[in-house]
Structure 1
């Protein structure tokens, strides 16, 4: 006996078509994942190397002595650490936690700093956990509010995996044909969805990398567009690029021009991926939402710069913007 359509609609697995993606459980999306976690006493430099070698931008920090996760460590935390160590960021004493004071003291005394002092340091992407049974629709709503990733926990308190904005987007795009009610929004253009008239933080290619990082920190953004003298997009610098500054202790890269830095990062990525060129991270202002999502998925980046026909930056589409749109299409 077949179930009525009204029941099938919210019973994932009972039908092979017309899946309701919002009802999928988080544990289904992390099956087979071998999550990376970082020991709380690992040095920041080694923690950064773990992220780089694992090809991830963030990992939970686990304190074995306390038997609990004490935060997330990502490249935003690393950027904040670098700026604090170089005395390029001022935090009022009354706003400093004990951990931050300890970190500042150790870094300026050139002592090894454990990653537990830097986890969640930026305050931009703290440790967020969800139960394995949490529905994808709820996670998408969280992602639309600015959360970038969630730790998926089993009922026994163990880490089952980590769901990021990128991994969820990849899942949705790979199964898009099964989610027919998402098709209409995919055909809309970026202007129709209000994704062009965004304020864009930019720097000139001649500016120092350190200036770009300070601008990103003070404006609470994760990326900055790099423009030439005519205002044409020539690249971008994101928090993830800081891994190339820390790798092999290339601190001198901080004083390169942004143009030089973008070139060096592209060269480094080309060596790692075996590609001659790193893809240009832009999309035309008249593109459809579906095209932008496909490019985000293919390039594995967290944002695309929206450019007009003259190559001038007209906006930016971030993964958070994407999930704001998608969250509007979740089943209430």
Structure 2
């Protein structure tokens, strides 16, 4: 993520928060005359909305190069592009006037000098889309036999797999002047990434974030949920964020929900796991010990109450060269030695964000005091919780002012 401010600016920002004279409240700021420490603390916390409104997505997306492939690229080429760039998804570009973009979008790249349209972004493709296409082998009656047919299936154009996963069904853009607060609302609904135009053709006074959006720009940047989480992590000790970051993770619905947490056993083959994840629209599952197959050919089991050994994610295979993919699909998920990011139920939002950023993972498994799986917190949950905290504190502040 791009550096948002110089160290000197950060120092000045901290000084402005803390003040230089007079009585101090719990956050280090000055108390107004006749103002109680409790009221002053609430004022400081409610300032989070202001901070998130002031920050624009153009700042966070600055320097985030958009990785793209042409619509004619094969899946093998696309997988190699993911590997080379170290990204989780690539944009698919096509000539203008021949395609309808994912979700009905019309995201165009134009010539900066003439304004003539050069390309049309028709969707995003991630490793789960590619693996879902491979996992369909043998189900479509085309003579393929699973992993043995991988070469032929990896030779199809990337445009044919757009929308194989739920994430690929839509293509989102965010106006450069969209506030971080509004961006968080979009990302809190499960949108993982969005394109941010370098120069937007939309009216600056009408800032929108919609799937069916006509946009034209000389170029685009990529903004992801992880960029937002990294911003929150970098500013976790700012006065305005302290309250939201200290909230227990039980405020994240997925952590305390009674719904099953789908998992796979350590003996499950990668190919079978991918097929099950594709059917259930899951991007990742925990690998748990002591989990026998549920019977009836079921691969996914309820992992609650079992010990988490590893995490299996579709992005794990992003680091696998295409020439090695066939052999990888035939091994067990236990052979993917990805570190598990887990948090106790008593952990705070800030502690979970620390784990997510430190391990560069998109979800943290919640475990009980015995270390057994109890739930999951995703980046979507974390963004939603922080945004709800900001909105709630602003409403609380308005209540204080109204009563004054």
**TM-score of Structure 1 vs Structure 2, range by shorter chain:** 0.7 to 0.9
Matched, 1:87 2:144: no
Measured in 2, the distance between the counterparts of 1:123 and 1:194 equals 21
TM-score (norm 1): 0.78
Match of 2:123 in 1: 71
Work out which of the residue numbers 264, 267, 275 in structure 2 matches 1:214.
275
**Aligned residues of 1:75 and 1:240 also touching (Cα < 8 A):** yes
**Aligned residues of 2:88 and 2:318 also touching (Cα < 8 A):** no
Shift of 1:37: 1.7
Matched, 1:243 2:243: no
Within 5 Å, which residues of 2 pair with 1:194-233? Answer: 194-198=253-257, 199-229=260-290, 231-233=306-308
**Aligned residues of 2:83 and 2:321 also touching (Cα < 8 A):** no
| Bigger-Rg structure (1/2) | 2
Matched, 1:22 2:31: no
Matched, 1:40 2:68: no
Match of 1:182 in 2: 241
TM-score (norm 2): 0.65
Work out which of the residue numbers 294, 317, 320 in structure 1 matches 2:380.
320
Provide closer, same or farther for how the CA distance between residues 228 and 163 of structure 1 changes in structure 2, counting only shifts above 3 A: same
Query: Which blocks of at least 5 consecutive residues in structure 1 are unaligned?
Result: 1-12, 91-105, 267-278
Measured in 1, the distance between the counterparts of 2:165 and 2:79 equals 15
Measured in 1, the distance between the counterparts of 2:289 and 2:140 equals 27
Matched, 1:124 2:124: no
Match of 2:87 in 1: 56
- CA deviation map 1:128-170 (0-9, x unaligned): 1122122211111011101000000122523331100001111
Q: Which runs of 4+ in 1 moved over 3 A?
A: 15-19, 106-111, 192-195, 244-247, 329-332
**Aligned residues of 1:44 and 1:113 also touching (Cα < 8 A):** yes
Shift of 1:65: 5.5
Report which stretch shifted further, 168-177 or 293-302.
168-177
Within 5 Å, which residues of 2 pair with 1:97-136? Answer: 112-125=155-168, 126-136=170-180
Match of 2:231 in 1: 171
Measured in 2, the distance between the counterparts of 1:134 and 1:247 equals 38
**Aligned residues of 1:22 and 1:330 also touching (Cα < 8 A):** no
Work out which of the residue numbers 344, 354, 363 in structure 2 matches 1:303.
363
Measured in 2, the distance between the counterparts of 1:212 and 1:117 equals 22
Shift of 1:108: 9.0
Q: Secondary structure at the match of 1:150?
A: strand
Provide closer, same or farther for how the CA distance between residues 128 and 38 of structure 1 changes in structure 2, counting only shifts above 3 A: same
Shift of 1:327: 2.6
Provide closer, same or farther for how the CA distance between residues 110 and 47 of structure 1 changes in structure 2, counting only shifts above 3 A: closer
CA RMSD of aligned residues (A): 2.7
